[in-house]
Chain A
Amino acid sequence: MIELIHIKKNFGKTEVLKDISIQLAAGQCIGLIGPNACGKTTMIKSILSMVIPTSGEILFNGKNIIGDVAYKNHIGYMPQIGRYPENMSISQVINMIKNIRKYNGQIDDELWYAFGLDGVSDKKMRTLSGGTTQKVSATLAFLFNPDILILDEPTAGLDPLAAEVLRDKIIKERKKGKLILITSHLLNELDELLSHVIFMQEGEIVLYKTIGDLYTETGEVKISKAIGNLLKSTLK
């Protein structure tokens, strides 16, 4: 579905992405992990053409995304830090996005109610806590029933209850055969969710494997331990 070909990105002199080539297909649930500042968010933002790569191509269903925006109709994106117009209320933001996206299908407002946003919908965005803002971001990402979900640190800032709600929702959407890309530092959360793992380090993809392969190669049954094992063995 999504293909990155030799993507490079420099911010000034620092190389954030160094020649990344990767293919992501429908039905995969991919965990994108790696240390801070390894280029995860930059990679995600280049898929959404929020960041313009220095060189390389990104294909969506075989079509180059440069100059195209229609492909974003198929993507639900939850940013790491959601930034919204401060003097709009929650419901105004949701309605504005509904208004702008010409979406005719079934609106998926499950999270809206599950997070209890209907009770605080008149609150202005600037008064919201970090966690509530994350809930709005999550609701927006799932709202239009997209084929692809890109979730950047989805559970950071959410309370355990809300995180559980979101997790269940991700599992549910995964069963529908959607492509889901998650970045997270909380590896324990990802265990039952993922089908694939991408490990990035200093702008390069070090590893792209199915969970099964990862477990058999390392003899572990936890992602955190398996990655740790693998890193130790590569360091040696």
Chain B
Amino acid sequence: MMKRTRTAAIAALGLGVALAASACAGGGSSSGGGSSSSGPVTLTFWTNATPGPGLTYFQNAIKTFHTLHPHVTIKMQTIQNEDYDGKLQTALNSNSTPDIFFQRGGGKMLAMVNASKVQPLTLTAADKQNISAAAVATESVNGKVYAIPLDVQPEGIYYSKDLFAHAGITATPTTIPELEADVAKLKATGVAPIAVGAKDAWPAAHWYYNFALRECSQATMNEVGATLKFTDPCWTKAGNDLAAFLKVKPFQAGFLTTAAQVGAGSSAGLVANHKAGMELMGAWDPGTIQTLTPNQKPLPDLGWFPFPAVPGGQGDPSAMMGGIDGYSLSPNAPKEAFQFLEFLVTPDQQKLYSQAFVTIPVNKASQSVVTQPYSVSALEALNKAGYTMQFLDTQYGQNVGNAMNAAVVDLFAGKGTPAGIVSATSEAAAKG
């Protein structure tokens, strides 16, 4: 009897130790196998793709790759987008780093590069043919490539052709004064002119990014990436432009508590249900809108036009904001992991990818599959663009980007000033 009690106590103590130990260790299945390997290879692959055509695409791509290289098995793990960064960070700091992982780029990638947590890649001539130099440049740090981009997501304004026609708008606006006139026409018909999901901050901040893109020269914007000093007057001018634009009250009522992508009340949902005329968003928007229409089918009258020109700005009026989705390798990932990324940017795979994710593939040879009118407009604008600039919260890193986003929301809410955006970004530099 007594003996049993003691055994139980020791067992309980052991369990406690085990619990504490496992909490600290956090799993340890390392799969990094050096840079060359000949026997069977198992790779781990992390993506933020959600169930649906996108996930099915990756499953099929992994199967096809396995047929081509029977000794390579790829294990895919999907992670919910908002959980992704935290889990990846934990994994990168431990020994359980995934071999291939979704890469957001920009300042996030820079932090990984600085900590040597990501593998530099050497592109072959064939790779360079598959991926445009501009796309490669956005995935590079100091001339070294750290991720393979799969698609480009140029930003512009998605609008409802029916609502525009109903308001008597015959041509899409090309300047901000024209846009303001269209806002007034849409208002008169009783719909919200522009939807914005300010609760998520970045959708509101994208308006500031695009005004900055029009006001600031390419050189200025690139320089700031290195110095993080927003001293050029164009940054305040962009804020003044936005403040003036906000005066015409272009956004839906209650925009501050509207989310961007979740539910019929979100900004994408307002466009999907013809409650709002337009929204400024990246190329993933049609896919999001599609899931929020009453019948979950693509919005038939969806159109696209680039962000209007700002009279007197120093930026190229054709320049575009955009994002890029890429994939990186962990420092110890074997060469087969790189082969898989090379495989993903081949023309056939890129066509399938683009169809599954409803985006513009990074491989120009595959862009023929882009047929929806809004994507064709976006693609044409992209191919004509003088240059593309990554979303500023990516370009300038999470810390400064985060502060900029929050300051723009304050301006939207009438609480902040254009100068406040500049000072908030400078103050953020003190925190990290």
Answer whether A and B are interacting partners.
Answer: no
Chain B interface residues toward A at CB < 8 A: none
Chain A interface residues toward B at CB < 8 A: none
